[in-house]
A and B are shown apart, each in its own frame.
Chain A
Amino acid sequence: MRRQGMQRIDTRTLVGALIAALAVVAIWRPLVQAAQPIRIGFGMALTGGLAANGKAALLAMEIWRDDVNKAGGLLGRPVEFVYYDDQSKPATVPGIYTKLLDVDKVDFVVSGYGTNLIAPAMPIVIERGLVFMGLFGLANNEKFNYPYYFQIAPNGPNPSAEFSRGFFELAAGQHPRPTTVALVGADAEYPHNALAGARENVKKHDFKVVYDQTYPPSTVDYTPIVRAIKAANPDIVFVASYPPDSVGMVLAAHEVGLKPRLFGGGMVGLQFAAFQTKLGPKLNGIVNYDFWVPEPTLNFPGINEFLQRYQGRAEKAGVDPLGHYLPPWAHAMMQVLGQAIEAAKSLDQKTVGEYIRTHEFDTIVGQVKFGPNGEWAKARMLLVQYQNITGTDIGQFAGPGKRVVLLPEEWRSGTAIYPYGEALK
């Protein structure tokens, strides 16, 4: 009985079903297309000497990816990361990037962290004409002049000199004018670069160099070095160092009683929570370069929300709890790439590359515009002084008032305490 009933399918039902099926097919294909993710590949220092920063950068980039995907993806497609640990070793980079491109077939690549991890990837991206976002590399494009390399740190057209430009400008503007300079730093890539730039600036302002030495990063005790500096009696002491030696130099300076009129320079590591809490008030008076600090003049849209989200995930990820140094920039780098892809409505490297070259971007670190060699068109390195630090509570560093911006003028948020000795009282 039922069979007979089912045999006679209504023509309308048949047509309706057919139309429905076709409709599903019509929608399904673009759905499948849309679901295909855009893959961005990179190597990142998750182990080795640079891992502390590398892991923090990765977290910041993942926050960007999650944001973008929550808002619907790029060009309607979700974003996916494909990344490998470069172990802070340049030797792994060529293999990683060729794997990403030839085997994983990613759509875009961005760099790992640091000059020496970017360098080996340059010939690979140049050969294929790819857009390449650089994270904190110094002069990587100098020999190539490749048009689609874009470096996110606000070093400006003359990176090496920029680290110390503000520092020596501040010195030159003081009355009475200081005359003698001590230059010291670690035997490593960044400090050597910073010191080279410092020598340029010293010559520009006609200061006299009374001490100019470097030390091996494995130095255990910094007191002989600081004592030798003190014996030379310099007005200005410029230090270019990495986290462990930055701490060592500050501690030694206090032990030996080094009190030049201006102290600091290019000391990486003082921006990290672990060291800020260890050194506490010993940081007072030190004048250092920085990229971003939580001062009211730098309250760009989105930065505080980003930092809150980062700080929420930082402990579990085992990275710097405050995240003021590298994370905002890693996030901003991805923002630039993402915005360019959306605006250009294309995944074509040349199109996106040209777009980045010719436009300005709104990011959590403010407005970003690139110059001809891929660096920021206008430098925005800050000269910052540690002031009014009391005790070792980490909370005081999360907000304004402890790292006061002295230069450039348009971002200034306080006045310098000069000479250095005044801040120690």
Chain B
Amino acid sequence: MFSVDLLINAVVAGILLGGFYAAVSLGIAMTFGLLEVVNIAHPVFVIAGAYAAYMMNAAVGLDPLLTGLLFTPIFYALGVAVYRIYYASFERKGEQSLRGLVFFFGILFIIEVSLVLIYGVDYRLVEAPYIGRSLLIGPLGIAFRLLVPFVVGVVLTLALYLFLGKTFYGRAIMGVSQDALALRLMGADPIQIKTIAFGLGIATASLAGALLIIIAPVEPSIGREYIGRVFAITVLGGMGSIGGTLVAALLLGVAESLTSTFSGPSWALAVSFGILLLALAIRPSGLFGR
């Protein structure tokens, strides 16, 4: 039952979803793409951001987006702290990949279980005036619940892109991933730069979490479903490319949406990962990789 209406809606829904996926993946694009720190715990930070939004929404009725913005500095500080521990324990000694990976795995567990202990396993939702309403343009139906995260996701990506391209610290971050020695010679401390970058990566989780809980109810273990997605997007987009992350996120969103609509939702996730495996086999540097 193919119809143009359905196709248009599927593509648009995919794009909207992709914007949200980009917001979630930005953190990984920073920490993994630029710093090569395999922070697989990032999705659980996003979930923590979602719970922060829930908590403020339930307690004082604060709009989740505002909570997301408000908590960004807190998450930044958290990111800085985590990186300091990581650096002191692993990177300085040069034993990165394996142990660092396991370290973040452990962090993932600790945060997830702590959330369960505090909030339980029930699904949590937020209330906001734009959740539940849709925009109708001809055959196209756009839910605000998806539109708002899309817009925020794109804005966030743009902001990060500009930051990395135009500001001193931003360019230093790009520089540290390419040549740490040269950076030192230019007067910037690579460790401080990396700390800032990691902190920023985690900071994005605050807003991303708010977006997540706007789209759908959350419970502590759903972070795991995103681990694969965000890494797939980062790898597909190309390591170190923020713009690539956005494009890859949109592609993945559309692929999932089209599969959902026409072949059956069961296969949507498999298709995304199939694309990833294919990308790894054919062009491992991703679409826009260096």
Instruction: Give the B-binding residues of A (Cβ under 8 A).
Output: 47-49, 51-52, 187, 210-211, 213-216, 218-221, 223-225, 227-228, 231-232, 243-244, 247-248, 251, 254-257, 274, 278, 318
Contact = CB atoms under 8 A, between A and B. Distances in A.
Residue among A49, A51, A220, A224 with the highest chain B CB neighbour number at 10 A: A224
B73 to A, nearest CB: 28
The majority secondary structure among interface residues of chain B is helix
Contact of B9 (A51, A227, A243): A227
B86 to A, nearest CB: 28
A227 B146 contact: no
Given A187-B266, A247-B217, A223 B146 contact: yes
B264 interface: yes
A125 to B, nearest CB: 28
Given A220-B216, A225-B260, 4 more contacts: A52-B120, A223-B143, A225-B261, A318-B120
A318 B122 CA distance: 9
Contacts of B265: 213-216, 219, 224-225
Between B9, B17, B222, the greatest number of chain A beta carbons within 10 A of the residue's beta carbon is seen for B9
B79 to A, nearest CB: 25
B214 to A, nearest CB: 11
Contacts of B266: 187, 213-216
Interface of B: 1, 3, 5-6, 9-10, 13-14, 17, 116, 120-123, 125, 132, 134, 141, 143, 145-146, 215-217, 219, 221-222, 225, 257, 260-262, 264-266, 268-269
24 contacts: A47-B116, A49-B221, A210-B1, A214-B264, A214-B266, A221-B215, A221-B216, A223-B13, A224-B13, A224-B260, A224-B261, A225-B260, A225-B261, A225-B265, A227-B9, A231-B3, A244-B217, A247-B217, A248-B216, A248-B217, A251-B132, A257-B141, A274-B122, A318-B120
B84 to A, nearest CB: 32
Nearest to B219: A244
Given A214-B265, A216-B265, A257-B141, A48 B121 contact: yes
Contacts of A247: 123, 125, 217
A256 B139 CA distance: 11
Contacts of B125: 247, 278
A278 B127 CA distance: 8
A257 B9 CA distance: 14
Contacts of A255: 132, 134, 141, 143, 145
Nearest to A215: B265
Contact of A218 (B14, B123, B222, B257): B222
B226 to A, nearest CB: 9
Contacts of A218: 222, 225, 269
Contacts of B145: 251, 255
A239 to B, nearest CB: 13
Nearest to B5: A231
A211 B261 CA distance: 11
A227 B1 CA distance: 11
B269 A52 contact: no
A214 B260 CA distance: 10
B121 to A, nearest CB: 5
Contact of B141 (A220, A244, A256): A256
A214 B265 CA distance: 6
A228 B123 contact: no
Contacts of A221: 13, 17, 146, 215-216, 257
Contacts of A251: 132, 145
The SS class assigned to the A binding surface is helix
Contact of B215 (A47, A215, A220): A220
A412 B269 CA distance: 43
Nearest to B16: A221
B116 to A, nearest CB: 7
Contacts of B141: 223, 227, 255-257
A18 to B, nearest CB: 60
A103 to B, nearest CB: 27
Contacts of B217: 244, 247-248
B13 A231 contact: no
A232 B1 contact: yes
A216 B269 contact: yes
B233 to A, nearest CB: 14
Contact of A231 (B6, B134, B216, B269): B6
B258 to A, nearest CB: 8
A389 B245 CA distance: 44
A277 to B, nearest CB: 10
A221 B256 CA distance: 10
B1 A231 contact: yes
A112 to B, nearest CB: 16
Contacts of A278: 125
A3 to B, nearest CB: 68
Nearest to A52: B122
Contacts of B5: 231
A210 B1 CA distance: 9
Contacts of A49: 121, 221
A248 B143 CA distance: 13
Contacts of B268: 215-216, 219
Contact of B10 (A51, A216, A227, A248): A227
A223 B264 CA distance: 13
Contacts of A244: 123, 216-217, 219
Contacts of B1: 210-211, 228, 231-232
A207 B261 CA distance: 23
A318 B10 CA distance: 39
A220 B145 CA distance: 12
The 6 A-B pairs of least Cβ separation, nearest first, read A215-B265, A218-B225, A224-B260, A213-B264, A224-B261, A228-B261
Given A248-B216, A254-B132, A224 B116 contact: no
A274 B123 contact: yes
A220 B17 contact: yes
A404 to B, nearest CB: 25
B7 to A, nearest CB: 10
A221 B144 CA distance: 12
B246 to A, nearest CB: 18
